[in-house]
Homo-oligomer: A and B are copies of this chain.
Amino acid sequence: VRIDLNADLGEGFGVWRLGDDESLLPLITSANVACGFHAGDPVTMRRVCVGAARHGVAIGAQVSYRDLAGFGRRRMDMAADELAADVLYQIGALDACARSAGVRVRYVKPHGALYNTAADDPRQAAAVAAGVVAYGASLPLLGLPGSALATAAADAGVPFVAEAFVDRNYLPNGRLVDRSAGNAVLRDATAIAHRAVRIATEQQLSAVDGTRLGIAAESLCVHGDTPGAVAIAEQVRAALHEGGVTVAPFVS
Protein backbone atom coordinates (compact mmCIF):
# COMPACT_ATOMS: atom_id res chain seq x y z
CA VAL A 1 0.00 0.00 0.00
CA ARG A 2 1.37 3.38 -0.94
CA ILE A 3 0.15 6.96 -1.02
CA ASP A 4 1.44 10.41 -1.89
CA LEU A 5 1.30 13.41 0.45
CA ASN A 6 0.92 16.77 -1.27
CA ALA A 7 0.92 20.28 0.15
CA ASP A 8 0.96 23.87 -1.13
CA LEU A 9 4.40 25.46 -0.92
CA GLY A 10 6.07 28.68 -1.94
CA GLU A 11 2.98 30.76 -1.25
CA GLY A 12 4.80 33.86 -0.11
CA PHE A 13 5.50 36.83 -2.36
CA GLY A 14 8.50 39.13 -2.04
CA VAL A 15 8.95 39.98 1.64
CA TRP A 16 5.78 38.15 2.61
CA ARG A 17 5.81 34.58 3.80
CA LEU A 18 2.99 32.08 4.23
CA GLY A 19 3.27 28.61 5.63
CA ASP A 20 6.35 26.79 6.80
CA ASP A 21 7.94 25.33 3.67
CA GLU A 22 11.11 24.17 5.38
CA SER A 23 9.22 22.12 7.95
CA LEU A 24 6.81 20.60 5.45
CA LEU A 25 9.39 19.50 2.90
CA PRO A 26 10.68 16.53 4.94
CA LEU A 27 7.11 15.35 5.52
CA ILE A 28 5.52 15.47 2.07
CA THR A 29 6.26 13.76 -1.23
CA SER A 30 4.71 16.25 -3.67
CA ALA A 31 4.92 20.05 -3.49
CA ASN A 32 2.31 22.18 -5.22
CA VAL A 33 4.46 25.23 -5.89
CA ALA A 34 2.87 28.63 -6.51
CA CYS A 35 3.87 30.02 -9.91
CA GLY A 36 3.55 33.77 -9.48
CA PHE A 37 -0.12 34.37 -10.28
CA HIS A 38 -1.63 34.02 -6.79
CA ALA A 39 1.70 33.90 -4.92
CA GLY A 40 5.28 32.92 -5.59
CA ASP A 41 7.96 35.33 -6.72
CA PRO A 42 10.81 33.85 -8.78
CA VAL A 43 13.31 33.83 -5.89
CA THR A 44 10.88 31.93 -3.70
CA MET A 45 10.07 29.54 -6.53
CA ARG A 46 13.74 28.70 -7.01
CA ARG A 47 14.27 28.25 -3.29
CA VAL A 48 11.34 25.88 -2.98
CA CYS A 49 12.48 23.91 -6.02
CA VAL A 50 15.95 23.54 -4.55
CA GLY A 51 14.45 22.34 -1.28
CA ALA A 52 12.10 19.93 -3.03
CA ALA A 53 14.94 18.52 -5.09
CA ARG A 54 17.04 17.99 -1.97
CA HIS A 55 14.23 16.13 -0.22
CA GLY A 56 13.21 14.09 -3.24
CA VAL A 57 9.84 15.83 -3.29
CA ALA A 58 8.08 15.94 -6.67
CA ILE A 59 7.33 19.47 -7.92
CA GLY A 60 3.87 20.35 -9.22
CA ALA A 61 2.79 23.62 -10.81
CA GLN A 62 0.10 25.12 -8.66
CA VAL A 63 -1.53 27.18 -11.38
CA SER A 64 -3.96 29.96 -10.52
CA TYR A 65 -5.99 32.86 -11.76
CA ARG A 66 -3.87 36.02 -12.03
CA ASP A 67 -4.90 37.53 -8.71
CA LEU A 68 -2.21 38.40 -6.18
CA ALA A 69 -4.56 40.72 -4.27
CA GLY A 70 -7.08 37.92 -3.80
CA PHE A 71 -4.59 35.04 -3.49
CA GLY A 72 -6.37 33.31 -6.37
CA ARG A 73 -9.39 32.69 -4.20
CA ARG A 74 -11.81 34.67 -6.33
CA ARG A 75 -13.52 32.95 -9.22
CA MET A 76 -12.92 34.68 -12.55
CA ASP A 77 -14.81 34.29 -15.78
CA MET A 78 -12.09 33.83 -18.31
CA ALA A 79 -12.07 33.01 -21.99
CA ALA A 80 -10.77 29.51 -22.61
CA ASP A 81 -7.76 30.67 -24.60
CA GLU A 82 -6.77 33.13 -21.87
CA LEU A 83 -6.99 30.50 -19.15
CA ALA A 84 -5.12 27.90 -21.17
CA ALA A 85 -2.35 30.39 -21.95
CA ASP A 86 -2.12 31.45 -18.30
CA VAL A 87 -1.77 27.80 -17.25
CA LEU A 88 0.87 27.20 -19.89
CA TYR A 89 2.82 30.33 -18.87
CA GLN A 90 2.87 29.31 -15.22
CA ILE A 91 4.00 25.75 -15.92
CA GLY A 92 6.87 27.05 -18.02
CA ALA A 93 7.93 29.63 -15.46
CA LEU A 94 8.03 27.05 -12.68
CA ASP A 95 9.71 24.46 -14.86
CA ALA A 96 12.52 26.96 -15.44
CA CYS A 97 12.98 27.22 -11.67
CA ALA A 98 12.85 23.44 -11.34
CA ARG A 99 15.45 23.04 -14.11
CA SER A 100 17.77 25.38 -12.23
CA ALA A 101 17.47 22.97 -9.30
CA GLY A 102 18.27 19.97 -11.47
CA VAL A 103 14.71 18.65 -11.59
CA ARG A 104 11.49 19.29 -13.54
CA VAL A 105 7.84 20.02 -13.00
CA ARG A 106 6.11 16.64 -12.72
CA TYR A 107 2.43 17.50 -12.43
CA VAL A 108 -0.09 20.35 -12.37
CA LYS A 109 -2.66 21.24 -9.72
CA PRO A 110 -5.05 24.18 -9.96
CA HIS A 111 -5.17 26.48 -6.94
CA GLY A 112 -7.98 28.02 -4.95
CA ALA A 113 -10.90 29.34 -6.95
CA LEU A 114 -9.54 27.77 -10.11
CA TYR A 115 -9.46 24.39 -8.33
CA ASN A 116 -13.10 24.77 -7.38
CA THR A 117 -14.22 26.15 -10.72
CA ALA A 118 -12.36 23.51 -12.70
CA ALA A 119 -14.07 20.89 -10.54
CA ASP A 120 -17.51 22.08 -11.64
CA ASP A 121 -17.21 24.01 -14.88
CA PRO A 122 -16.43 21.85 -17.94
CA ARG A 123 -15.32 24.89 -19.95
CA GLN A 124 -12.67 26.08 -17.50
CA ALA A 125 -11.69 22.47 -16.80
CA ALA A 126 -11.10 21.93 -20.51
CA ALA A 127 -9.05 25.13 -20.67
CA VAL A 128 -6.82 23.98 -17.82
CA ALA A 129 -6.32 20.63 -19.53
CA ALA A 130 -5.57 22.41 -22.82
CA GLY A 131 -2.88 24.47 -21.10
CA VAL A 132 -1.30 21.28 -19.77
CA VAL A 133 -1.47 19.61 -23.17
CA ALA A 134 0.10 22.69 -24.78
CA TYR A 135 3.18 22.27 -22.62
CA GLY A 136 3.68 18.90 -24.24
CA ALA A 137 5.36 17.12 -21.36
CA SER A 138 2.61 14.59 -20.50
CA LEU A 139 2.19 16.08 -17.06
CA PRO A 140 -0.66 14.62 -14.98
CA LEU A 141 -3.32 16.81 -13.37
CA LEU A 142 -3.96 16.42 -9.66
CA GLY A 143 -7.50 17.07 -8.49
CA LEU A 144 -10.84 16.00 -7.10
CA PRO A 145 -12.09 12.55 -8.14
CA GLY A 146 -15.29 12.73 -10.16
CA SER A 147 -14.74 16.38 -11.00
CA ALA A 148 -15.16 18.19 -14.29
CA LEU A 149 -11.39 18.42 -14.34
CA ALA A 150 -11.11 14.63 -14.22
CA THR A 151 -13.44 14.41 -17.21
CA ALA A 152 -11.63 17.17 -19.10
CA ALA A 153 -8.30 15.47 -18.45
CA ALA A 154 -9.63 12.19 -19.82
CA ASP A 155 -11.01 13.97 -22.88
CA ALA A 156 -7.66 15.67 -23.51
CA GLY A 157 -5.54 12.58 -22.94
CA VAL A 158 -4.01 14.01 -19.78
CA PRO A 159 -3.37 11.57 -16.89
CA PHE A 160 -5.50 12.44 -13.87
CA VAL A 161 -4.52 11.70 -10.29
CA ALA A 162 -7.21 11.81 -7.62
CA GLU A 163 -6.52 13.34 -4.25
CA ALA A 164 -8.36 13.35 -0.92
CA PHE A 165 -8.29 16.01 1.76
CA VAL A 166 -7.37 14.63 5.15
CA ASP A 167 -8.60 17.68 7.04
CA ARG A 168 -11.76 18.60 5.16
CA ASN A 169 -15.24 17.27 5.84
CA TYR A 170 -17.02 15.60 2.93
CA LEU A 171 -20.67 15.61 1.96
CA PRO A 172 -22.31 12.24 1.35
CA ASN A 173 -22.05 12.91 -2.41
CA GLY A 174 -18.27 13.10 -2.24
CA ARG A 175 -17.97 16.87 -2.49
CA LEU A 176 -16.32 18.98 0.18
CA VAL A 177 -18.32 20.81 2.84
CA ASP A 178 -18.13 24.47 1.87
CA ARG A 179 -15.46 26.46 3.67
CA SER A 180 -18.11 28.89 4.87
CA ALA A 181 -19.64 26.16 7.01
CA GLY A 182 -18.45 25.85 10.59
CA ASN A 183 -17.57 22.18 10.24
CA ALA A 184 -15.70 22.44 6.94
CA VAL A 185 -12.32 21.71 8.44
CA LEU A 186 -11.18 18.94 10.79
CA ARG A 187 -8.84 20.17 13.49
CA ASP A 188 -8.16 17.10 15.61
CA ALA A 189 -4.77 15.74 14.58
CA THR A 190 -5.51 12.22 15.72
CA ALA A 191 -8.77 12.06 13.79
CA ILE A 192 -7.05 13.50 10.73
CA ALA A 193 -4.23 10.97 10.94
CA HIS A 194 -6.71 8.14 11.37
CA ARG A 195 -8.64 9.29 8.32
CA ALA A 196 -5.43 9.42 6.29
CA VAL A 197 -4.64 5.82 7.08
CA ARG A 198 -8.19 4.73 6.33
CA ILE A 199 -8.19 6.41 2.94
CA ALA A 200 -4.83 4.87 2.08
CA THR A 201 -5.63 1.37 3.26
CA GLU A 202 -9.40 1.04 2.79
CA GLN A 203 -10.18 3.70 0.17
CA GLN A 204 -12.88 4.95 2.50
CA LEU A 205 -13.77 7.87 4.70
CA SER A 206 -16.78 8.93 6.74
CA ALA A 207 -18.78 11.82 5.35
CA VAL A 208 -19.96 14.58 7.65
CA ASP A 209 -23.24 12.72 8.31
CA GLY A 210 -21.46 9.45 8.99
CA THR A 211 -22.08 7.95 5.58
CA ARG A 212 -19.32 5.60 4.51
CA LEU A 213 -17.81 7.03 1.36
CA GLY A 214 -15.56 5.19 -1.07
CA ILE A 215 -12.66 7.29 -2.28
CA ALA A 216 -9.89 6.10 -4.57
CA ALA A 217 -7.13 8.63 -3.99
CA GLU A 218 -3.48 8.33 -4.95
CA SER A 219 -2.56 11.42 -3.02
CA LEU A 220 -3.53 13.05 0.26
CA CYS A 221 -3.57 16.80 0.54
CA VAL A 222 -2.28 18.25 3.80
CA HIS A 223 -2.28 21.95 4.59
CA GLY A 224 0.66 24.06 5.57
CA ASP A 225 -0.79 27.49 6.08
CA THR A 226 -2.70 27.05 9.33
CA PRO A 227 -1.48 27.01 12.91
CA GLY A 228 -0.50 23.50 13.85
CA ALA A 229 -0.34 22.44 10.22
CA VAL A 230 3.13 21.03 10.49
CA ALA A 231 2.28 19.08 13.63
CA ILE A 232 -0.74 17.59 11.86
CA ALA A 233 1.34 16.65 8.84
CA GLU A 234 3.87 14.99 11.13
CA GLN A 235 1.15 12.96 12.81
CA VAL A 236 -0.35 11.96 9.45
CA ARG A 237 3.04 10.84 8.21
CA ALA A 238 3.75 8.89 11.39
CA ALA A 239 0.34 7.22 11.35
CA LEU A 240 0.77 6.17 7.72
CA HIS A 241 4.15 4.68 8.58
CA GLU A 242 2.70 2.79 11.53
CA GLY A 243 -0.20 1.67 9.34
CA GLY A 244 2.23 0.07 6.93
CA VAL A 245 1.61 2.61 4.19
CA THR A 246 4.55 3.65 2.04
CA VAL A 247 4.57 7.40 1.49
CA ALA A 248 5.97 8.15 -1.95
CA PRO A 249 5.35 10.54 -4.86
CA PHE A 250 2.59 9.47 -7.24
CA VAL A 251 4.94 10.29 -10.09
CA SER A 252 7.64 7.71 -10.36
Point out residues on A near B: beta carbons under 8 Å. 12-18, 36, 41-43, 45-46, 66-71, 74-78, 81-82, 85-86, 88-97, 99-100, 113, 134-136
Contacts and interface: CB of A to CB of B under 8 A. Distances in A.
A90 B68 CA distance: 18
Contact of A96 (B46, B92, B113): B92
Nearest to A43: B85
Stoichiometry, copies per complex: 4
Contacts of A91: 96
Nearest to A90: B93
Contacts of A94: 92
B99 A82 contact: no
A42 B131 CA distance: 11
A244 to B, nearest CB: 38
A17 B19 CA distance: 12
Nearest to A41: B69
B86 A42 contact: yes
A99 B136 contact: yes
A93 B89 contact: yes
B15 A18 contact: yes
22 contacts: A14-B69, A14-B70, A14-B71, A15-B71, A36-B89, A42-B82, A42-B89, A43-B82, A43-B85, A46-B85, A46-B134, A66-B69, A67-B76, A68-B68, A70-B76, A74-B77, A74-B78, A76-B77, A85-B97, A88-B96, A92-B94, A99-B134
